[in-house]
Structure 1
Amino acid sequence: MLELLIPANAIDAIGSFINAGGPVVVALLISTFLMWVLISERALYFAFWHRGIVGKANSSWGQRDERSSWEAYAYRERLISQVRIENQRNLNVIRALILITPLLGLLGTVTGMLEVFQVIVDTGASNARLMASGISRATIPTMTGLAVALTGVLAINYLERKHTQSIARLSQGLKVEAGMGHGSHRRLTGSSLEAGEVNITPLLDIVFILLIFFIVTATFLDEIGIGLSSPEDDPPEELQRPPPTLILSVRNDGFVLIDDVRLVDPRSVTPIVEAFRAENPNGVVLISAARDARVETTVLVLDQTRVAGVEPAVALQERR
């Protein structure tokens, strides 16, 4: 925060704020500057110049000898009205600026929403990064307008309280003597000021901000159907047949039976497997060892099969 006291940093911060909020923020800053110039002028008036005006009214009333007639009462009301006019100078303009700032915030919300919708039209998706600029233009003016309006309400209430107290003290100071036959005098002029307030109608832009958040968080998904296969799409029968199998049965006498047809030596299994794999690339080699087959023979057949580049399936018959 202390870095903002440096003029260069303050200018950069204001520029970034304006870029994020859009042109509506410029109008808000101008309205804020004008409003606080008028508020400062009124504060200085009540601090310094107001006493002189009230003193002049008291002096004019004190110089009058006759204070009980209707003319005296009218003259008193004129003095009070003159002070009231001076007190109320520019207060209506300040009230108007207080009401304008939330409306400008609403305008910024609408322009930001339009930018968000344009992003959706251009990209066809709710990308939060692409929408960030539009969301900033929708929220920053609203925040600025509300902040300015709240500070303005506090200031206008202070000025109105000073005005009310001033008129009350002046009315007590300008005393009227009861005249014979006139009865009670009714008040000729004067009306109380309206209390400063923030128009809550522009606050409905919160609904628009929520709408933007719903758009950002929404996800647009393509519907995925259930895949169905028609009878024409079924694979041919040849693809559904089991792959050819080469069965190597290890016997208890140390020989290997190939497909239950011929006996071979375990050391000659490699060329047989290579020839089978050449004819049937998708074929399966199965080693079936008898219950009483020697382990050394089974391991030798397994090694011979792996030398041929095939990882066989091994089935061992359980010993009883």
Structure 2
Amino acid sequence: MENDNILLSVQHLLAPLDQFMSQGGVVLWWLAAVVVICWLLVVERVVFLLCAFPKQRQQWIEQWQQRQDHDSWYALAIRTAWLDKAHIALTRNLSFIKVLVTLCPMLGLLGTVTGMISVFDVMANLGSNNPKLMASGISLATLPTMAGMVAALSGLFAHSRLVKKCQLTEFKLEKALRSQR
């Protein structure tokens, strides 16, 4: 009984989303998949920056401070290798996130084109006398465009913040490994 109530509540909450997605057409579902993948990668980067990287950073700093020699070629090679590993770890998936963000307005534009094709198809088959049929095609055209732009703007903001945070984190690590005891 309780499970049925929960299921009905979830269905009630998802009904407006389903209606929005059906008004936007198939392209809107593709856009939603891209957005979900993009935000999963953003969340993964945030968790990495907050949880995993600080442990590795602390380990590198402790190992550097325990070294007697900080100026030899070998010591500088170790430091450079750690900084390179940090750069690779910090920038992982950032390019892919940027590609997904770039893809969002393109999918919105694809939705515009498919929606307008639908409008022209209705006009060709039934004439331009029925505004209700044309309105459904216009919603097919405008909703994916709007959704693609919103997704791109929010993804662009998240990507730029991640890039800045990664650059700052990398700079701080380099500074910490440069200083001596």
TM-score, normalization by structure 1: 0.51
Measure the CA separation in 2 of the matches of 1:17 and 1:136.
10
Post-superposition shift, 1:17? 0.9
One-letter amino acid of the structure 1 residue matched with residue 126 of structure 2 = T
- Greater gyration radius: 1
Aligned pair partner of 1:91 in 88, 91, 94:
94
Indicate the structure with greater helix content.
2
Match of 1:157 in 2: 160
- 2:43 is paired with a residue whose SS is helix
Measure the CA separation in 2 of the matches of 1:106 and 1:74.
49
Measure the CA separation in 1 of the matches of 2:72 and 2:153.
47
One-letter amino acid of the structure 2 residue matched with residue 103 of structure 1 = M
Measure the CA separation in 1 of the matches of 2:42 and 2:129.
44
- Map 1:54-133; keep pairs closer than 5 Å: 54-125=57-128, 127-133=130-136
Measure the CA separation in 2 of the matches of 1:88 and 1:126.
55
Which runs of 5 or more residues in structure 1 are unaligned?
1-5, 178-320
- 1:174 is paired with a residue whose SS is helix
Post-superposition shift, 1:173? 0.8
Contact 1:67 1:176 in 2 (8 A): no
Match of 1:257 in 2: none
Deviations 1:243-267 (A, max 9, x none): xxxxxxxxxxxxxxxxxxxxxxxxx
Post-superposition shift, 1:176? 6.6
Post-superposition shift, 1:169? 0.8
Tell me which moved more, 152-161 or 121-130. 121-130
Residue 45 of structure 1 pairs with residue 17 of structure 2: no
Aligned pair partner of 2:21 in 18, 22, 26:
18
- 2:128 is paired with a residue whose SS is coil
Measure the CA separation in 1 of the matches of 2:92 and 2:66.
27
Match of 1:283 in 2: none
Indicate the structure with greater strand content.
1
One-letter amino acid of the structure 2 residue matched with residue 94 of structure 1 = I
Post-superposition shift, 1:126? 5.4
Measure the CA separation in 2 of the matches of 1:69 and 1:96.
41
One-letter amino acid of the structure 1 residue matched with residue 39 of structure 2 = W
Measure the CA separation in 2 of the matches of 1:145 and 1:85.
30
Higher relative CO (Cα under 8 Å, sequence separation at least 6) belongs to 2
Residue 136 of structure 1 pairs with residue 139 of structure 2: yes
Post-superposition shift, 1:111? 0.3
Measure the CA separation in 1 of the matches of 2:159 and 2:129.
43
Post-superposition shift, 1:46? 1.2
Measure the CA separation in 1 of the matches of 2:24 and 2:14.
15
Measure the CA separation in 2 of the matches of 1:39 and 1:176.
32
- Map 1:227-306; keep pairs closer than 5 Å: none
Measure the CA separation in 2 of the matches of 1:132 and 1:90.
40
Contact 1:116 1:131 in 2 (8 A): yes
Count of equivalent residues: 172
- 2:107 is paired with a residue whose SS is helix
Match of 1:316 in 2: none
Q: Classify 1:112/1:173 alpha carbon distance in 2 versus 1 (closer, same or farther; 3 Å).
A: same
What is the Cα-based RMSD across aligned positions, in Å? 1.6
Measure the CA separation in 1 of the matches of 2:51 and 2:61.
17
Deviations 1:61-95 (A, max 9, x none): 22332221233222211111111111111111111
